[in-house]
Chains A and B, each alone.
Chain A
Amino acid sequence: SQQGEEDPQALSIQEGENATMNCSYKTSINNLQWYRQNSGRGLVHLILIRSNEREKHSGRLRVTLDTSKKSSSLLITASRAADTASYFCAGRSSGNTPLVFGKGTRLSVIA
């Protein structure tokens, strides 16, 4: 079963614009993470936000978490062509359970 579900499924923007991707999840989580995948192969961890945090920043990335709505958003500011990739959210329920990924958002940044 999938813990997270990203929205939109695909997003196309111009270079320099901001990109916002949303993630909704089903059960209570211990933490929520965002990953990026280029070229359909290995994923790279971007940022982790804990259940007691509401917002976190890392460079051009800003992640928010609303546990009452079971949702998270990833904002990429001043996007670049190199940001073109698929972005996945992943959540772990409390306890010794596996991290479960959503289906991802495909972001295309057009130069």
Chain B
Amino acid sequence: GAGVSQSPSNKVTEKGKDVELRCDPISGHTALYWYRQSLGQGLEFLIYFQGNSAPDKSGLPSDRFSAERTGGSVSTLTIQRTQQEDSAVYLCASSPGWGGGADTQYFGPGTRLTVL
């Protein structure tokens, strides 16, 4: 079946511009995560959606970052007034739920963002 997809795969933008990154999770998965990974580094948790609960935004680095998940499916991560330090690979993952085996996360291929 179809996995998690992300678009675009690569995005180059100029400092100060806004960008939108899209994530299509696996159908039926109730949990969706956004992470950021800088070159050679680990994953930095950004935001987490679980069903109809309020999202956990505790990982968002600044108020320039926001995310939505419409209809419990597609999610968009928006970065306003991009800065060079925002350059990274942005990874999206979905899971069937949370707790036990439902926790297994399925990752998309990521969006590589470069801010010039």
Contacts and interface: CB of A to CB of B under 8 A. Distances in A.
Interface of A: 2, 30-31, 33, 35, 40-45, 48, 50, 88, 90, 92, 96-104
Contact of A40 (B45, B59, B89): B89
17 contacts: A30-B99, A30-B100, A31-B99, A40-B37, A41-B110, A42-B107, A45-B105, A88-B43, A92-B98, A92-B103, A96-B98, A98-B45, A98-B56, A101-B35, A101-B42, A101-B43, A103-B42
B106 A45 contact: yes
A99 B42 contact: no
Contacts, number: 66
Interface of B: 33, 35, 37, 39-43, 45, 48, 50, 53, 56, 58-59, 89, 91, 93, 98-101, 103-110
A101 B59 CA distance: 12
Contacts of B43: 43, 88, 101
A26 B50 CA distance: 23
- Residue from A30, A31, A42, A44 having most chain B Cβ neighbours under 10 A: A42
